[in-house]
A and B are shown apart, each in its own frame.
Chain A
Amino acid sequence: MVKYVVKRLLLAIVTVLIICAITFFAMHAVPGGPFNREKALSEATINALNARYGLDRPVWQQFLSYMGNILHFGNVFKGEKFLELDFGVSLKNGREISDIISESFPISARLGVSAMAIALVLGSVFGSTAALMRNKLPDRLIVFFSTLFTAVPSFVLATLLLLVFCNKLGWFPAWTPKNPNYVLPVISLAAYPMAYITRLSKTSMLDALSQDYIRTARAKGVSKFKMIFKHALRNSLIPVITYAGPQIAYIITGSMVIETIFTIGGLGSKFVSAITNRDYTMIMATTIFLATLMVVATVICDLLYKAVDPRIQYD
């Protein structure tokens, strides 16, 4: 078990490093730089800026020095932190990148975590209900709505919610940084994953209910409640975990569409503006952040499989 975790974590680190390299070289292969403004700067200024940020060196040298700068090992005995991450400053506005991330990530994370929590809980409840009440009215209603919601793009849902409940009915105030109202963004973020998880967990619940061990449990006289929660639900969770793991990593790093519609200054919109501005350091920092979360989520998922289903063996 420990060996497996260590192996997975080492592989995860390698994966993140390779993603960093691909992104770094792809980014620098793109024509245009961070100092191409609408108001053209003089050549001397651009050269000076490039030299200031080390952008005049060959790309591989830049990459090595960048990676060296990020991992900042301190001397523990002198009271410094063992490992300090230093992402440098944004090339666009000169702010510390760690400041930008620590400012915008909590917003995206709060949105994403609440949306995913709602999606997971409601999705598996609805899915299991549909499976248990197969071909009855609740099942048909749940199947109808989950099929419908997997066909609605989140931007359409978000725009309509904003139009109806914020502008027309005025039930929920619009998003402002000082007075954030999470209700509408969370609903529009949660709708698709919820519908998807409902469908997933319905299928896998039906699958679990048709297994022999359920019949054995029933024959032994296990109560229906215990049968569902102890035997069937656990086994039906595996596909849900497979889907939810990477999805959580995606969603908490910010859905730029939802953030754009509700004008939320989260990490997602920051990432997109960084790409369009060629803000190299900001792109790299957000990519590393996203990739790390992704990889960690995958590892946690694999470990969760074992917790949910002890039959699964790691090799």
Chain B
Amino acid sequence: MENNPNMASGKLPKKKPLSMQLDLSKFGSADFIPATEEEKRQQDVMSKSTTFFKDGMRKLFKNPLAVASIGILLLIILVIIIAPMIVPYSYDEILSVNGRRDKGAQNLAPFAYSVLEQEYIAKGGTRFPHIFGTDELSRDYFVRVIYGTRISLSIGLFASLIVLIIGMIYGSISGYIGGKVDLIMMRIVDIIYSLPDMLMIILLSVVLNDILQFPAGSLLSKLGTNMVSLFIVFGLLYWVGLARLIRGQILSIKENEYVLAAKTIGAGPSRIIRKHILPNCLSVIIISTALQIPSAIFTESFLSFVGIGVKAPMPSLGSLANAARSGLESYPYKLIFPAAMICLIVLSLNLLGDGLRDAFDPKLKR
């Protein structure tokens, strides 16, 4: 550059014969007038710049199925928060009228009242209706289903959170470092993948029963050691799927030029993973977490179904469905309510996951 004589003397380089370049030396200062305000505005970028996340959200809210499932999920969350405040029964309360145990209130049909309650209402008392009827121990079934939904949903959320954190860290380390470390870490994943999960959950819940002592009355002691061990097993076993997924993503992302650029200006591995790689596999992470929640809810309901789920008075949707099996011929609605709740939650989460995938996966242009 420095030995270019034209540059040094302030003149423009000599124009080639066929070049389209304007010869600026032919124009004087009178030929240039400043742009008016209106002309300046025309040069402004018409739409606001959008981020990947905002763009995805915009696409998501254009998808009617995804919006409907978000609405249903919000409605369910609202109901499980508000309903226990309105309904005057608790999930483990055996119904009683005027302090007398109501023996006739077993297995009531939805919106039915027992004999004692009918007498009470005839005398002018008011009684909150049993919206879903009552169960075989004369407890209000609606409240039990609501509490069951609470338990199942929070198990789904927390379990997938655990899976997300562990899977993300493990997968990104393995994918980023690569080589021998990756080989060994993936062998570990293979081994964990083929461990019989049911066996591990049962074994852990028995071991933890002896080790863990929760303060009486706390939420953890109400949930029981089975649930806590379920969380631990989720943390120990189920992250492998996500770890594999993220590793695969990172293997391809880390070959990109911007990672190389970051490396050349001296960014450390932790910064590159946090700032460059993880944001780029965000879509995969969001989608698989949305789909992880229903699978956690399924697992919990299976476990409750075979009798190793939540501890007795505390209901979960799976244990309610299991308890309903014994009197199925006479009281089919006791299976229908919790089962329909599971289906509704899982269905809307699945649809939401699909919507998220369509909105956030740049490779899908459908």
Contact = CB atoms under 8 A, between A and B. Distances in A.
Contacts of A261: 325
B230 interface: no
Interface string A67-81: 000000000000000
Contact of B198 (A11, A26, A148, A256): A256
Nearest to A16: B194
Contact of B329 (A32, A150, A167): A167
Interface in A1-30: 11, 15, 18-19, 22-23, 26-27, 29-30
Interface string A135-171: 0000000000001101111011001100100010000
Interface string A114-130: 00000000000000000
A291 B355 CA distance: 36
B328 A159 contact: yes
A257 B305 contact: yes
Contacts of A286: 196
B207 A153 contact: no
Nearest to A291: B194
Interface in B294-350: 294, 298, 301-302, 305-306, 318, 321-322, 325, 328-329, 332, 335, 339, 342-344, 346-347, 350
Interface size class of A (residues with CB under 8 A): 35 or more
Contacts of B187: 11, 15
B190 interface: yes
Contact of A287 (B199, B344, B347): B199
A155 B96 CA distance: 34
Contacts of B301: 153, 155
A152 B203 contact: no
B347 A147 contact: yes
A83 interface: no
Interface string A270-287: 011001100000010011
A163 B332 contact: yes
Contacts of A294: 193-194
B195 interface: yes
A30 B302 contact: no
Contact of A31 (B210, B298, B322, B339): B210
Contacts of B322: 155
A59 to B, nearest CB: 14
A26 B203 contact: yes
A235 to B, nearest CB: 16
Nearest to B325: A159
Nearest to B354: A147
Nearest to B188: A18
A151 B294 contact: yes
Interface in B216-260: none
B206 interface: yes
B328 A163 contact: yes
A206 interface: yes
B285 interface: no
Interface centre among A167, A261, A276 (most CB of B within 10 A): A276
A252 interface: no
A152 B298 CA distance: 9
Contact of B199 (A163, A167, A283): A283
Contacts of A283: 199
A19 B195 contact: yes
B202 interface: yes
B192 to A, nearest CB: 9
A162 B210 CA distance: 39
B15 interface: no
Contacts of B202: 272, 275-276
Contacts of A295: 194
A26 B200 contact: yes
A178 B321 CA distance: 29
Contacts of A22: 191, 195
A54 B205 CA distance: 26
A290 interface: yes
Given A287-B199, A290-B196, A295-B194, A159 B342 contact: no
A153 B301 CA distance: 8
Contacts of B155: none
A153 B339 contact: yes
Contact of A19 (B191, B210, B306, B318): B191
B278 interface: no
B196 A155 contact: no
Contact of B343 (A27, A152, A155, A257): A152
B151 interface: no
Contacts of A23: 195-196, 199
B190 A156 contact: no
A315 B345 CA distance: 43
A260 interface: yes
Interface centre among A19, A206, A286 (most CB of B within 10 A): A19
A62 to B, nearest CB: 17
Interface of A: 11, 15, 18-19, 22-23, 26-27, 29-32, 147-148, 150-153, 155-156, 159-160, 163, 167, 206, 246, 256-257, 260-261, 271-272, 275-276, 283, 286-287, 290-291, 294-295, 298
20 contacts: A15-B190, A22-B191, A22-B195, A30-B203, A32-B206, A147-B350, A151-B342, A151-B347, A153-B298, A153-B346, A156-B335, A156-B339, A159-B321, A159-B325, A160-B339, A163-B332, A246-B194, A271-B199, A272-B306, A275-B198
